[in-house]
Amino acid sequence: MFTGLVSDLGQLRESTGDEDRRFRIATSYPLDEVAIGASIACNGCCLSVVEKGADWFAVDVSAETLSKTTLGSWQPGQPVNLERALRLGDELGGHLVSGHVDGLAEILEIRPEGESLRFSFRAPEKLARYIAPKGSITLDGVSLTVNEVEGAAFGVNIIPHTAQVTTFGRYEAGDRVNLEIDLLARYVARLMAQQD
């Protein structure tokens, strides 16, 4: 489990393999504290550390994950939002995030709004019903509050700090991001469907 609060902006150093890939990701994490097998969210995808060096760790990414997330298009130099797994007793500053990507959202527009940036996204139709105004959503591993929803389109506000310490300061209209719907919304919808 994660909180959606990015704690490091890493960078993809190397990608090897074809159908499945191994990514080597540079990080400022103290890797002597990260065990082999530990989970790290990489742009919202929960991945297991399989190897590590002084300032990098490696993860294996399956063909399934590559086909269902943005990770399939990653190239060396790609900035990566990183978050280590939540430990009991840690502050829960964002919301509960599983690290299991539900789909891809497309950036429709980015416009300045005061000191912040207002992002408009289009979610896949099948996921739109899980997105609610003032609800939580995870985009590329970042916990955000939904401002407004209209059909499959929704908006979020990105404050300057978030734009600086995550990949959100680098996006352009047309880019796609990994989307994870709120866990509570998923279970409420499941319960409601069973009552019908």
Which residue range(s) make up the domain with 135? 103-195
Task: Mark whether 189 and 147 lie in a shared domain.
Answer: yes
Give me the mean pLDDT over the 100-129 stretch.
96
Task: Mark whether 118 and 162 lie in a shared domain.
Answer: yes
Note the pLDDT of residue 184: 76
pLDDT above 70 for 196: no
Task: Mark whether 116 and 80 lie in a shared domain.
Answer: no
Task: Mark whether 63 and 108 lie in a shared domain.
Answer: no
Task: Mark whether 121 and 173 lie in a shared domain.
Answer: yes
Task: Mark whether 107 and 183 lie in a shared domain.
Answer: yes
Give me the mean pLDDT over the 52-66 stretch.
97
Q: List beta partners, residue 171.
A: none
Task: Mark whether 19 and 49 lie in a shared domain.
Answer: yes
3-state SS of the chain is CECCCCCEEEEEEEEECCCCEEEEEECCCCHHHCCCCCEEEECCEEEEEEEECCCEEEEEECHHHHHHCHHHHCCCCCEEEEEECCCCCCCCCCCCECCCCCEEEEEEEEEEECCEEEEEEECCHHHHCCCCCCCEEEECCEEEEEEEEECCEEEEEECHHHHHHCHHHHCCCCCEEEEEECHHHHHHHHHHHHHC
Note the pLDDT of residue 186: 73
Show which of 54, 84, 114 is a domain's final residue.
84
Note the pLDDT of residue 87: 77
pLDDT above 70 for 31: yes
187 or 62, greater pLDDT = 62
Residue 6 one-letter amino acid = V
Task: Mark whether 76 and 111 lie in a shared domain.
Answer: no
Note the pLDDT of residue 27: 98
Confidence bin at 114 (pLDDT 50/70/90)? very high
Number of domains in the chain: 2
- Do the domain assignments include residue 62? yes
Task: Mark whether 47 and 77 lie in a shared domain.
Answer: yes
Q: How confident is the prediction for the chain on average, in pLDDT?
A: 93
pLDDT above 70 for 97: yes
Note the pLDDT of residue 115: 96
Q: What is the CATH number of the domain that holds 138?
A: 2.40.30.20
- Do the domain assignments include residue 111? yes
Residue 26 one-letter amino acid = A
Task: Mark whether 74 and 123 lie in a shared domain.
Answer: no
pLDDT tens digits along 144-180: 999 999 999 999 999 999 999 999 999 999 999 999 9
Task: Mark whether 117 and 182 lie in a shared domain.
Answer: yes
Give me the mean pLDDT over the 86-106 stretch.
82
Task: Mark whether 73 and 108 lie in a shared domain.
Answer: no
